Amino acid sequence: MGPTASGKTAFAVEWAQRLGTEIVSVDSALVYRRLDIGSAKPDAATLAVAPHRMIDIRDPHETFSAADFAAEALPHMQALSAAGKVPLLVGGTGLYFRALLDGLSDMPAADPAVRAALNAQAEVEGWAAMHARLREVDPDSAARIHPNDPQRILRALEIHRVSGRSRSDWQSAPRRSVFPFRILPVVLAPADRAVLHERIVRRFDQMLAQGFLDEMRGLMADPRLHPDLPAMRAVGYRQAWQHLAGATDFDTFRTQAIAATRQLAKRQLTWFRGSPDSRWFDPQSEKDALDCHLRRFLGRD
C-alpha cells in the first residue's frame, strides 16, 4: 500500500519479477480503460515483465464499487495461489483493501429508478441541498462525505430511500471475519512529506509531457461520458475536464490538479495510519529493511 506517487509500483514490479508472480492492482482509477496517462497506468514494457490484474476491466462510462473489487479480485488471488504464485496486492485505494480483507456489509443493490429520481432532484436543488438532506437522515455519513462528492451523496441517499436504514447503520453490521490468505500489510511512503510533494509535481508534469490533455480530449469526445461519472472525477481528470471545458486556464488547471493530488495523498496516508498491523517503510532510505521484512515473511531468509 502507499499514497500516490510514493514509488510503490516500481518496488512492486521488482518484487513481482523476483517472485515470478503477478500484481493485483488495488487502484480505483486503473480499473478503467482509456484512463492511461492521467492514472499513471503501467506501460506495456512494465506489464510485459510484471503482469497486472484488475486493470482495464471497465469502460469509463461504467461504475465500479469496492464490493465489485472484492468480488473480482479474490478469484484472481486464488488463481495465482493455485498456480504456486504469491498474490502481490499493490495500490492506494484503502476502501478496496478493506472490502477485500474485511468484507463489506450487505447493503442494498443499486436501484436505477431511485437513482434517477435522486439525480433529477439534484439537478433542481443542487448537491449542497442533497447533502443537507443526507445530514437529516444519516448525519454520520454526511459528516464523512464532502458536499462536493455527488457520487457518495447519491449512494447514501439511495440506500436510505430503498431500505429505510442509513448507510451508517448498514456499515455497522458484522462483516466477514476470515480472509482466506495470510497477509503482510506494508505501507511505502517517503518519511519526508516534502519528497512526496516533489514527486507529485514531477510526475504530473511528466503526464502533461506525455499527452495527458490529448488523452482527456479523446475522453471528452465520447458522448457517453460526463464530468459526474466516477472515472471522470478521478484526480487529474476532473481538473482536466474543467480546463478543457473552458472553466480554468492552463496554469490554474495545473495548480489545482497538483493540489488535488496532494490532498489525495494526505487522505491515503490518514487511511493507512488506521491499519495498526501495517509496517511503514521509506521506499528509498529503508529499501534494504523492507527487502528483509518481505523475505522473512516469505521464508526466504
Cβ neighbourhood burial of 49 (10 Å; 0-12, 13-18, 19+): exposed
Q: Per the annotation, does 41 bind a ligand?
A: no
Q: Per the annotation, does 252 bind a ligand?
A: no
Q: Determine contact, residues 88/16, Cβ cutoff 8 Å.
A: yes
Average pLDDT over residues 123-144: 94
Say if residue 148's pLDDT is above 60: yes
Q: Determine contact, residues 54/25, Cβ cutoff 8 Å.
A: yes
- The structure's pTM equals 0.83
Band (pLDDT 50/70/90 cuts) for residue 170 is: confident
Q: Per the annotation, does 287 bind a ligand?
A: no
| Rg of the chain, C-alpha, whole Å | 20
Band (pLDDT 50/70/90 cuts) for residue 143 is: very high
Query: Could you tell me where in the chain the CATH 3.40.50.300 domains are found?
Result: 8-104+176-298
Average pLDDT over residues 222-246: 96
Which grid coordinates belong to 63? 461504475
Q: Per the annotation, does 63 bind a ligand?
A: no
Band (pLDDT 50/70/90 cuts) for residue 141 is: very high
pLDDT at 168: 86
Q: Per the annotation, does 8 bind a ligand?
A: yes
Query: Could you tell me where in the chain the CATH 1.10.20.140 domains are found?
Result: 112-171
Report the CATH number of the 8-104+176-298 domain.
3.40.50.300
pLDDT at 174: 62
Tell whether the torsion through CA atoms of 44, 280, 71 and 160 is positive or negative. Answer: negative
Which grid coordinates belong to 270? 490518514
Average pLDDT over residues 43-62: 97
Q: Per the annotation, does 7 bind a ligand?
A: yes
What fold does the segment set 112-171 form as a domain?
Answer: Histone, subunit A (1.10.20)
Give the C-alpha distances (Å, rounded to integers) separating 95 from 25, 101, 212.
13, 10, 27
> Which of 8-22, 54-68, 109-123 shows the lowest per-residue confidence on average (mean pLDDT)?
109-123
pLDDT at 171: 75
Q: Per the annotation, does 230 bind a ligand?
A: no
Separation of CA 33 from chain center: 14
Give the C-alpha distances (Å, rounded to integers) separating 175 from 140, 171, 216, 276.
19, 9, 39, 18
Q: Per the annotation, does 75 bind a ligand?
A: no
Amino acid making up residue 288:
D
Q: Is 162 helix (H, G, I), strand (E, B) or coil?
A: helix
Q: Which of 145, 113, 111 is nearest to 130 (CA)?
A: 145
